[in-house]
Amino acid sequence: MIDTDKYTGHEYERMHIERWHLPDTPEEVMIANALLMDDAPLLLAEVKRLRKEINQLPIDLHESLDMILEAHHPEVRESVMAMFGDAWGNNLTGYQE
């Protein structure tokens, strides 16, 4: 988990007007902007990690449901799994970048 409290006070508009600062930019804003820009690769890596976890959710759910139904309700397993596939559009690959 990334501690985003250190970015408090950054000013998005000032980051885009000039890479580091404008002449009237307060020092604490410049520091917050610089920290945010420096950590951009870490933030991107965290987004990618979370997307990977999100992608795995439908696959894990599908496998868990199949296992539970096989063990406890084999008589309805096939129809329930077909409904699950229909609901997910038979696409259990997750989010595509």
Residue 68 C-alpha from the chain's centroid: 28
> Dihedral angle at the C-alpha atoms of 87, 88, 91, 97, nearest 10 degrees?
150
CA distance 1 to 39: 13
Report the alpha-carbon distance of residue 68 to residue 55 in Å, rounded.
21
Phi, psi of 28 (to 5 degrees): -65, -30
Each domain of the chain, given as residue ranges in start order, spans 1-38, 53-97
pLDDT of residue 22: 58
Q: What is the pLDDT of residue 15?
A: 55
User: Per residue of the chain (97 residues), what is the pLDDT tens digit?
Assistant: 677 777 776 666 555 555 555 566 777 777 777 788 888 888 889 999 998 888 888 788 888 888 999 999 999 999 988 888 777 765 555 545 4
Per-residue pLDDT, 69: 92
Predicted TM-score (pTM) above 0.85: no
pLDDT at 77: 92
The pLDDT, as a whole number, for residue 11 is 63
Q: How many whole angstroms separate alpha carbon 55 and alpha carbon 93?
A: 7
What's the length of the chain? 97
